[in-house]
Structure 1
Amino acid sequence: MSEKNVLLQATNITCGYDGKSILEAVNLDVSAGDITCLLGPNGVGKTTLFKALLGFLPLMSGKVEIAGRNRVELNRRKQAKLLAYAPQIHVPPFSFSVLDVVLTGRAPHLGVFASPTKDDYTLADRVLEELEITKLRDRIYTELSGGEAQMVLIARALMQDTSLLILDEPTAALDFGNQVHVLRRIKALAEDGRGIVMTTHNPDHAFLVGTKAVLLSHAKEVKSGTVEDVVTEKNLEAAYGIDVHVVEAQDETGMTIKTCVPSLAEHADVV
C-alpha cells in the first residue's frame, strides 16, 4: 500500500521499565485494511509493547507515528481522535445500559460538560447495526455474555470514529463460537478500510484474519512481517518451546487455510 495509507508506524522502538529494556529495536507498520496480530508466550512483553504503542509507557528509543504524526506531539485528546483502544472485557462500577457504554466512546469529541448530541445517538445506532448487535442496545452491560460484552467494547471504540483500532485480546475467555463471531467482525472492519492491531494467544487467529504478525519470545527476539513469514513452525517452536506443525486444510468454499497443531511431546529446547 502507499505510504499515505500507513496509519501506525513503530520504528526501532525500545521500551521497558526503570531503565531496563524489555523489547529492543521493534519495527511494525499498520496500513488501512491490515490486521496485525501480536503473538508470543506470557511474560515476553506483549503488554509492554501495547503500552508503548498507546503512549502509556514512554519509549526508551525509537519513534511511533500515528497517521504520519509523531505520537509525542499528540496530546491524549488528539490521539484519541486518531486511534481507538478496546481493552479486555471489564466490569464497570455501575450497571450502565449498552447504549450508555457505547456513547462514552464519543468523549474525545465532546466538551468537558457536554452531553451526547442527536448525531451521536445516530452514530451509536449505526455502529451497533454495523456490528450486528442492535438487539443489545437497551440491555444492561453487566448482564451480557462474554462475547456480547466484547462486541460492545469494540462498538465503544468505533464511536471514536478513527481509522486505527488497537484491540487487547478481543477473544480472551470467549468460547469457540464467540471467538469466531468476534474475529468475523474484526475482519469485516479491516475490509471496510480500518487498520487493526490485536493481541491473541492463538496463532491460528493470525491465519484466519491476519495480514501481518509480530511474534515475541523470551530470548528478546522479535519477528515482524507478513503472517506467512512470521507464523512458521520454526518460529513458533522457538517462541513457545514446543513442537508445532503447521498444516493446511480446505474450508467449505475450497479455500486453503492453515492451522497450528501442537505436539504434547517434550521439546528438546524446553528448560
Structure 2
Amino acid sequence: MIEAPILAVRDVGVSLGGRTILEGYSLDVGKGEVLAMLGANGVGKTTLLNCMVGLRHPERGSVTRMGRIGYVPQLFQSTFAFSVLDIVLMGRARHLGLFTAPRKADYEVAERYLELMQVAHLRDRPFNALSGGQRQLVMIAQALASECEIMILDEPCSALDYKNQAIVIATLRRLNREMGLTIVFSTHAPQHGLEVASHVLLMNDRQRYRHGSVAEVLTADNLTNLYDVAIGRAEFGMGGRFTFAPTYVQ
C-alpha cells in the first residue's frame, strides 16, 4: 500500500494584479522527505511556499496538508522588543486557548527546543539584537515548538555568511535524520540541495518546472536551463563530493 503524501500540490495556479504567477504546478512531498526549491528571482518560489503554508489560497488547484506546518520566513525581525524566549513561545500559540497565557508545559517545550538549537544561552537576549544566523536558529526553534510535522522555510540562508549557512543547513539535516521531520525550503544555492535534500523542485517559469530526486534532477544541464547561464559540475577531488558553479568567466 502506497503511503499518501504529507503535502500534495495539485494544478496550483496563482494570479496577481491580472498577471499569472504560477500555473499548473503539481507535486507530492512524502513524509520524511526534504525538498529544495530553486529558481531565479521573481519566479514564484515564495508564492508557492505561501500556498503550501496556507498564507495564500491559490485561485486554481489545491494544496492538501496531512501534517501540522511550521513556517520560518526570511530573516524575520520583530516590531517589538521581544526576548528570544518570547519569540519561541509564540510557536505555542496553536496549543493555547484565546487570551490564555503560556503554561509551565509551554515554557518547558520552548526551553527544550532552544537547547536543541544550541541557543539556550540567548534566551533572555532581545531577539532583534541577534545576528542573522542566530535569528534563523531561534525561528527554527519557534517552528519546532509548534510541534510541527512539516517545516517550511523561505530562503533560510538568505544574507548569511558561509559559517552561518553551514550551521543552518547542518541543523536541517539533523532535524530530518534524527526527528524524521519533513522539510521544504527555497534556496539560490544548488549546494544546499546537494547537502540536505532528497528531492528538488526547479522552477523555470510560471508553468515549466522539474521535480524529482536530487540525483535525477539536480544536474548541470538542468541548472544551466534554470538560470540561463552556463553551469558546470566541480569535483572536490576526494570522496566523490561535488558542487555546481557558473562557468561564464572568459
TM-score after normalising by structure 1:
0.86
Unmatched 5+ stretches in structure 2: none
Per the TM alignment, residue 265 of structure 1 is displaced from its structure 2 partner at its CA by 4.1
Per the TM alignment, residue 138 of structure 1 is displaced from its structure 2 partner at its CA by 1.7
Q: 1:11 to 1:219 in 2, by over 3 A?
A: closer
Structure 1 residue corresponding to 2:202, chosen from 191, 215, 218 = 215
2:47 corresponding residue in structure 1: 48
Structure 2 residue corresponding to 1:239, chosen from 198, 222, 226 = 226
Q: Is the 8 A contact 1:88 1:169 kept in 2?
A: yes
**Counterpart amino acid of 2:15?**
G
Counterpart secondary structure, 1:3? coil
Q: Is the 8 A contact 1:39 1:199 kept in 2?
A: yes
Q: Structure 1 stretches (4+) deviating beyond 6 angstroms? A: none
Q: 1:219 to 1:57 in 2, by over 3 A?
A: closer
Kindly indicate whether residue 106 of structure 2 is the aligned counterpart of residue 120 of structure 1: yes
Structure 2 residue corresponding to 1:165, chosen from 138, 151, 157 = 151
Q: Percent identity?
A: 39
Counterpart secondary structure, 2:241? strand
Q: Is the 8 A contact 1:123 1:159 kept in 2?
A: yes
Q: Is the 8 A contact 2:6 2:30 kept in 1?
A: yes
Counterpart secondary structure, 1:15? strand
Greater Cα offset, 187-196 or 14-23: 14-23
CA RMSD of aligned residues (A): 1.9
Per the TM alignment, residue 219 of structure 1 is displaced from its structure 2 partner at its CA by 6.8
Per-residue CA deviations over 1:55-78 (Å, capped at 9, x if unaligned) read 23322322211118xxxxxxxxxx
Q: Is the 8 A contact 1:52 1:58 kept in 2?
A: yes
CA distance in 1, matches of 2:47, 2:10: 16
Per the TM alignment, residue 245 of structure 1 is displaced from its structure 2 partner at its CA by 0.6
Counterpart secondary structure, 2:148? coil
Q: Is the 8 A contact 1:146 1:174 kept in 2?
A: yes
Unmatched 5+ stretches in structure 1: 69-81, 267-271
Per-residue CA deviations over 1:24-75 (Å, capped at 9, x if unaligned) read 221222223211011001011112211222223322322211118xxxxxxx
Kindly indicate whether residue 181 of structure 2 is the aligned counterpart of residue 194 of structure 1: yes
Per the TM alignment, residue 257 of structure 1 is displaced from its structure 2 partner at its CA by 2.5
CA distance in 2, matches of 1:227, 1:127: 29
Instruction: Tell me how many residue pairs correspond in the alignment.
Output: 249
CA distance in 2, matches of 1:95, 1:57: 28
